[in-house]
Amino acid sequence: METTLLNLPGQVDNYLFQVLDVIRPRLEDEEEYKKPGYKVFLLEVIINAIYYNPSVTLQYLAHYNFVPKFMAMWFDEAEHFLRVHDKTLSILALMKIVQLPWESLPVTLQQDGALSYLMKGMMKFFESLPGAIKRSLHS
């Protein structure tokens, strides 16, 4: 799913909701992602969807009242995003969110402190990026 979203920009719009319909329920079910790394994989599919089409993906998440929970899961799991790719993708997706026009953001991201929250999340990924780069060079 990740490869499809990253390599076919603008070409799988008709399938974006189907992808999210597969992933979102799995993230809502804590029993589903007890396997190590699986939760990060699930989060990354949605992060890829945000990178692919931030407005539509956030509208979808808002429709299911999943924006706050998703953001909390994303930032809480930041330390488990170990690869350079994981961190870079998160940074790029967060940049796509903050670049959206204010009125197209879900209400939960229009509240006071939301931009600060997103920027703090972005900083988690920026701060840990050098370590990931170092690990990738030594492996």
Q: In this predicted model, which residue has the larger pLDDT, 123 or 2?
A: 123
Determine the length of the chain: 139
| Look-up of token digits 């699930």 | 42
For 129, residues 6+ apart whose C-beta sits below 8 A from its C-beta are 84, 87, 88, 91
Q: What is the pLDDT of residues 56-102, one digit of tens each?
A: 999 999 999 999 999 999 999 999 999 999 999 999 999 999 999 98
pLDDT: is 74 or 1 the higher one? 74
Residue 113: left if φ>0, alpha if ψ -120 to 50, beta else—which one?
A: left
Report the alpha-carbon distance of residue 2 to residue 49 in Å, rounded.
8
Average pLDDT over residues 21-34: 86
pLDDT value at residue 71: 95
Average pLDDT over residues 117-134: 91
pLDDT at 36: 67
pLDDT of 44 reads 95
